[in-house]
Chains A and B, each alone.
Chain A
Amino acid sequence: MTPEETRDFEAKIRAYVGREVGAPTRGKDDVNPAMIRHWTEVTGDESPVYCDQAFAAKSSKGGIIAPPTMLQIWSMEGYAMCQRPEMDLQRELHKIFDAHGFVGVLGTNTSTDFYRDLRPGDQVTAHTVIDNISERKTTARGVGYFIETVTKFTDQHGADVGRQVFRVLKFMPNAETAEAKASTAGAADKPAPPTRIQAPRGHDNAWWWEAIDQGKLMIQRCKGCGTLRHPPRPMCGDCNSTEWDAIESSLEGEVYSFTELHYPKFPGYPYPLLCAVVQLREGTRLIANLAGCEPEQVFIGMKVRGKVERVDDKTVLPNFYPA
């Protein structure tokens, strides 16, 4: 997707945020003992407060209650949804995702709050809102967006009885993963390991990363006045020349500052991960990872020597080792 396409797409999906997926759905059946019994048989929950009228009456509940976790059950669509699902706003939103290649769907997590016990005779109505859509995320499954819906459950008096948050990931399945699957049909179905976030390459920096791919750490040099500069820029701040070439770094330097990254941990990066501002012998600095040493061994002023090396399937980087 081009940046423009992404922008359009995101504008389209964001327009759904805050909207109800459809009219409130009133449960087809009121809370009733038969459905409660089926549920407890299936789940193996034998608490008598759900089924034994005499016991329940004497308990602190004062009568039969439905298992709280059945909350969502009472207003479910039922078998009809498998045959001819009703086109609600949520499905409409998913179709937009599908049309843009985000065909994967994964329920990631749900949480429920229960406000009061439901008893036979109660009527449950669900009101579902598309609450939020995350920014674009890179996950092990592929790039995608988390969609969170919030369902408010009310009773026959309009009072809230519970609330459920449901999160799904709509994602573009990793091309690599799909290809790997196709080419090794029958082999172990293992997703490709995640890689580091790639440096976006544009006019002013692509040449530097291409040199890294060739194993060389370059430093931009002004043709007008010879000043070295990093990160690369299109014009010299000293003499305003736009002419430049580059020299290859000796990869010798020292730690100017550093940090150990603990949290959050991003997929594709090896932790413990040490990151440093490295002062190169040539005079410029760059950010790079430290390797071959323990966090407690690192200090400001430590001499280091760099090595441009492959760190994962997609990424070549300069790493600096204790000299």
Chain B
Amino acid sequence: MAARISDKAAIVGIGATEFSKDSGRSELALAAEAVKKALDDAGLKPADVDGMVTFTIDQNEEVDVARAVGCGDLKLYSRVPYGGGAATGTLLQAAMAVATGVAETVVCYRALNGRSGQRYSSGVSGNLITGSAIHYSWYMPFGLLTPASWVAMFTQRYMHLTGCSRDALFEVAQATRAYAVNNPAAFFYQRPFTREEYDTAKKICEPLRLYDCCQESDGGCAVVVTTPERAKHLKQPGVLIRGVAQCAARGQEEMTSFYREEIARIPEMDLAADEAYAQCGLSAKDIDAAVIYDAFTPIVLWQLESWGFCKYGEAADFVKDGNLRPGGRLPTNTHGGQLSEAYIHGVNGIVEAVRLVRGTSVNQPNKPVAHALVTSGVGVPTGGAILGRMG
């Protein structure tokens, strides 16, 4: 049975800092600004906040953010693990707290100096001091050290099994870029690119080249979650969390699930989709637009299949038919995604999904958006959320 979480919580505020390659300030400064902006957007005061949720990898302690912003007493603080896999998991934590009365108004945030500070592309090293050291022992001596290298391994097999070619990967990259050129907040604002640039860019890990990989960015994003009742009395139209799930599947590893029966698919996202749809009784045909986690181009294809927009192995054709584009079946990553706007671990994606439902995206589709999907990072335990308008 699906969790009874649907429509028990609403997103009422969104906030984001500028995105850059060198923010010139602390991650705490970014977090505080994003949170404050989200509260201002909602018309709430810091004192209204009684819960905070972020990623385990976020370096900003909840109480530090609370002090920085001037929040008062907190009754919930909770963190979600697995890097970008945490993005919509933060919404689940917030929704559960709001639905049960553990907290009434919860802020989800993520802020990082992902380019000027610690960079994810620099890979794991022999100096890890965490419990994952042993895990990575199976990969480090062989040079399989970076997220791109792990994703490349899945991609190669997916392409082998489905006949997907680089044409489809290019279309994913090109679609986000086409949106980003209109988005002043995007790194690639007013910077379109060509197939030639894509094909001649630096090789990263076969078959991935530079523009198959997201950026590394500095920035922060936050959203405010509260009860639908309270949402009715706030500044912005509330955006309901219709369904939300976080899932790890059998045989899961963190980024390196190489030992499952078949590695060219993401069963944890299949689970998340089933769960989120079941919660609200919706299906793929009800989703009007999407923000699909795009740390790398191929992972968008797998998620389109998981969420039922097409069958397994058909995502390449689905995207090549222009379905992610403005007039397509599923306008996707309308902010430019992490490939072309900024890499804020998917929380900039949650912010964009809220905009899509509000009708305020810089690339708002020319059709009503009753429901928008937003997903978390894959390769790791993951999840997704379906957002919808309040009645």
- State how many angstroms separate the Cβ of B297 from the closest Cβ of chain A: 15
Q: Give CA–CA (A92, B121) in the complex, Å.
A: 31
Q: Give CA–CA (A295, B144) in the complex, Å.
A: 16
A262 with B157, Cβ < 8 A, contacts A138-B125, A200-B126 known: no
Look across to chain B and name the residue whose beta carbon is closest to the beta carbon of A260. B206
Inter-subunit contact A275/B129 (CB<8 Å):
no
Inter-subunit contact A135/B118 (CB<8 Å):
yes
Considering the complex, which residues of chain A in the window 150-165 have a beta carbon less than 8 Å from any beta carbon of chain B? none
- State how many angstroms separate the Cβ of B191 from the closest Cβ of chain A: 22
**What chain A residues lie within 8 Å of B141 (beta carbons)?**
196-199, 315, 317
- State how many angstroms separate the Cβ of B33 from the closest Cβ of chain A: 16
Inter-subunit contact B134/A204 (CB<8 Å):
yes
B184 at the A/B interface (Cβ < 8 Å)? Answer: no
Q: Give CA–CA (A304, B64) in the complex, Å.
A: 54
A26 at the A/B interface (Cβ < 8 Å)? Answer: no
A264 with B123, Cβ < 8 A, contacts A277-B258, A300-B156, A315-B141 known: yes
**What chain A residues lie within 8 Å of B263 (beta carbons)?**
256-257, 277
A125 at the A/B interface (Cβ < 8 Å)? Answer: no
- State how many angstroms separate the Cβ of B193 from the closest Cβ of chain A: 19
A300 with B138, Cβ < 8 A, contacts A143-B127, A263-B204 known: no
B232 at the A/B interface (Cβ < 8 Å)? Answer: no
B272 at the A/B interface (Cβ < 8 Å)? Answer: no
**What chain B residues lie within 8 Å of A201 (beta carbons)?**
134, 137
**What chain B residues lie within 8 Å of A136 (beta carbons)?**
125, 127
Inter-subunit contact A273/B160 (CB<8 Å):
no
Inter-subunit contact A287/B118 (CB<8 Å):
no
A321 at the A/B interface (Cβ < 8 Å)? Answer: no
Considering the complex, which residues of chain A in the window 29-69 have a beta carbon less than 8 Å from any beta carbon of chain B? none
Task: Kindly identify which residue among A197, A199, A200, A257 contacts B153, using a CB–CB cutoff of 8 Å.
Answer: A257
Q: Give CA–CA (A263, B143) in the complex, Å.
A: 11
What 1/0 flags go to B131-155 for Cβ under 8 Å of A?
A: 0011111111111111001001110
B203 at the A/B interface (Cβ < 8 Å)? Answer: yes
B182 at the A/B interface (Cβ < 8 Å)? Answer: no
- Most chain A CB neighbours (cut-off 10 Å) among B113, B125, B129, B157: B129
Inter-subunit contact B122/A259 (CB<8 Å):
no
B195 at the A/B interface (Cβ < 8 Å)? Answer: no
Look across to chain A and name the residue whose beta carbon is closest to the beta carbon of B152. A259
A266 with B152, Cβ < 8 A, contacts A261-B205, A284-B259 known: no
**What chain A residues lie within 8 Å of B128 (beta carbons)?**
200
Inter-subunit contact B204/A197 (CB<8 Å):
no
- What size tier do the contact residues of chain A reach? 35 or more
**What chain A residues lie within 8 Å of B45 (beta carbons)?**
none
B313 at the A/B interface (Cβ < 8 Å)? Answer: no
Task: Kindly identify which residue among B129, B144, B207 contacts A261, using a CB–CB cutoff of 8 Å.
Answer: B144
Look across to chain A and name the residue whose beta carbon is closest to the beta carbon of B136. A200
- State how many angstroms separate the Cβ of A308 from the closest Cβ of chain B: 12
**What chain B residues lie within 8 Å of A269 (beta carbons)?**
143
- State how many angstroms separate the Cβ of B376 from the closest Cβ of chain A: 24
B364 at the A/B interface (Cβ < 8 Å)? Answer: no
**What chain A residues lie within 8 Å of B204 (beta carbons)?**
262-263
**What chain B residues lie within 8 Å of A277 (beta carbons)?**
153, 157, 258, 263
Look across to chain A and name the residue whose beta carbon is closest to the beta carbon of B126. A197
Inter-subunit contact A199/B140 (CB<8 Å):
yes
Q: Give CA–CA (A18, B25) in the complex, Å.
A: 8
Inter-subunit contact B134/A262 (CB<8 Å):
no
Considering the complex, which residues of chain A in the window 115-129 have a beta carbon less than 8 Å from any beta carbon of chain B? none
What 1/0 flags go to B4-40 for Cβ under 8 Å of A?
A: 0000000000000000000000100000000000000
Inter-subunit contact A275/B116 (CB<8 Å):
no
Q: Give CA–CA (A18, B117) in the complex, Å.
A: 12
- State how many angstroms separate the Cβ of B162 from the closest Cβ of chain A: 12
Inter-subunit contact A287/B258 (CB<8 Å):
yes
Look across to chain A and name the residue whose beta carbon is closest to the beta carbon of B251. A237
A140 at the A/B interface (Cβ < 8 Å)? Answer: no
A190 at the A/B interface (Cβ < 8 Å)? Answer: no
**What chain B residues lie within 8 Å of A196 (beta carbons)?**
140-141, 143
A28 at the A/B interface (Cβ < 8 Å)? Answer: no
B311 at the A/B interface (Cβ < 8 Å)? Answer: no
Look across to chain A and name the residue whose beta carbon is closest to the beta carbon of B140. A197
**What chain A residues lie within 8 Å of B233 (beta carbons)?**
none
B202 at the A/B interface (Cβ < 8 Å)? Answer: yes
Inter-subunit contact A202/B142 (CB<8 Å):
no
**What chain A residues lie within 8 Å of B117 (beta carbons)?**
132
Look across to chain B and name the residue whose beta carbon is closest to the beta carbon of A300. B160
- State how many angstroms separate the Cβ of A88 from the closest Cβ of chain B: 21
A257 with B144, Cβ < 8 A, contacts A262-B203, A262-B206 known: no
Inter-subunit contact A257/B145 (CB<8 Å):
no
Task: Kindly identify which residue among B144, B160, B202 contacts A263, using a CB–CB cutoff of 8 Å.
Answer: B202
Considering the complex, which residues of chain A in the window 261-289 have a beta carbon less than 8 Å from any beta carbon of chain B? 261-264, 266, 269, 273, 275, 277, 284-289
Inter-subunit contact B153/A258 (CB<8 Å):
yes
**What chain B residues lie within 8 Å of A300 (beta carbons)?**
156-157, 160
- State how many angstroms separate the Cβ of A285 from the closest Cβ of chain B: 5
**What chain B residues lie within 8 Å of A262 (beta carbons)?**
202-206
Further 5 A-B residue pairs, CB within 8 A, beyond A132-B116, A134-B118, A143-B127? A135-B122, A256-B263, A260-B203, A264-B146, A287-B138
Which B residues lie at the A interface, using CB under 8 A?
26, 113, 116-118, 121-123, 125-129, 133-146, 149, 152-154, 156-157, 160, 202-207, 256, 258-259, 263-264
**A and B contact pairs by CB, cutoff 8 A, 7 listed:** A3-B129, A138-B126, A198-B126, A259-B205, A263-B204, A284-B259, A287-B142
Q: Can you list the 7 inter-chain pairs with the closest CB atoms, starting with the nearest? A: A199-B137, A197-B126, A257-B157, A259-B152, A262-B203, A260-B206, A3-B129
